[in-house]
């Protein structure tokens, strides 16, 4: 399931993120890559334990908490603290798949990466190229969206970032461990939730149809969830 979430961040939040990132230290992006990805990855990143990185990660986590689409689509149990990358002219990320398991920094816990997320922080006129390419059921999808928009997709997907040919493309990226491991089940629950929302626009909350749909949704969530 590929989901586009417009305007996760406000324009003010985008400006603040960019201001902080401009003053930050950038390092070789391969420091967070696995063996296979390290051979394919050519970009820059903010160290995950830097003061700037942790501050902006908290800002994004707060935005995720208030976004109903993210919570409906990802059904997150745990979220990896957002990281930040930068692709300058000539940089790219060849086709790869994300690591299945990642240690949570500063804890003794690990996270299973069910859902990958990319939050764009550069306006479209700031760079050429740099499309996020995701292989899904319907073929290769090219993602190029405005600053503040985010896309979610299964972490099992092969994906890449096309070479930047002008300017610089900045983004945040992270993973979620979902309460629903199976992507098909997660997609069905998201579609079910969207149908409930649409039904509630036309019927009162205590209507039998609304109550029945809501009960079925939660019973399926109870049946399929892993906590």
CATH at residue 88: 2.60.120.620
Same domain flag for 97 and 199 = no
pLDDT at 161: 97
Residue 159, annotated as binding a ligand = yes
Same domain flag for 159 and 174 = yes
8 Å CB contact between 79 and 116: no
Q: Which two tokens stand for residue 212?
A: 């029945």
Give the structural domain span for 197.
183-224
> Whole-angstrom Cα distance, residue 211 to residue 189?
16
pLDDT at 33: 57
Task: Count how many domains the chain has.
Answer: 2
Residue 96, annotated as binding a ligand = yes
pLDDT at 34: 55
Residue 94, annotated as binding a ligand = no
> Does residue 84 come out as left (phi exceeding 0), alpha (psi in the -120 to 50 range) or beta?
beta
pLDDT at 136: 87
pLDDT at 31: 67
Q: Is the pTM of the predicted complex or chain greater than 0.85?
A: yes
Q: Indicate which CATH number applies to the domain containing 188.
A: 4.10.860
Backbone CA torsion sign across 115, 116, 117, 123:
negative
pLDDT at 4: 98
Closest-CA residue to 111 (of 74, 68, 150, 136): 74
Same domain flag for 38 and 118 = yes
8 Å CB contact between 209 and 203: yes
pLDDT at 71: 98
Same domain flag for 156 and 123 = yes
> Whole-angstrom Cα distance, residue 108 to residue 184?
30
Residue 207, annotated as binding a ligand = no
> Within the chain, which residues score under 70 in pLDDT?
31-39
């Amino acid at each position: 399931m590929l989901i586009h979430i417009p305007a996760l961040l406000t324009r003010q939040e985008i400006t603040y993120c960019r201001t902080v990132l401009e003053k930050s230290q950038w390092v070789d992006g391969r420091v967070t890559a696995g063996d296979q990805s390290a051979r394919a990855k050519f970009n820059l990143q903010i160290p995950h334990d830097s003061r700037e990185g942790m501050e902006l990660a908290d800002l994004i986590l707060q935005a995720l908490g208030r976004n109903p689409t993210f919570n409906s689509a990802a059904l997150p149990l745990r979220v990896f603290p957002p990281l930040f990358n930068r692709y300058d002219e000539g940089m790219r990320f060849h086709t790869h798949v994300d690591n299945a398991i990642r240690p949570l920094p500063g804890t003794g816990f690990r996270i299973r990466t069910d859902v990958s997320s990319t939050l764009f922080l550069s306006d479209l006129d700031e760079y050429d190229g740099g499309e996020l390419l995701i292989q899904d059921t319907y073929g290769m999808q090219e993602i190029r969206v405005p600053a503040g928009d985010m896309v979610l997709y299964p972490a099992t997907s092969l994906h890449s970032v096309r070479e930047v040919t002008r300017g610089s493309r900045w983004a945040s990226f992270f993973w979620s461990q979902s309460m629903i491991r199976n992507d098909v089940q997660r997609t069905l629950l998201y579609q079910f939730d969207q149908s409930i929302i649409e039904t509630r626009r036309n019927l009162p909350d205590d209507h039998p149809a609304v109550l029945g749909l809501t009960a079925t949704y939660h019973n399926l969530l109870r049946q399929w969830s892993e906590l």
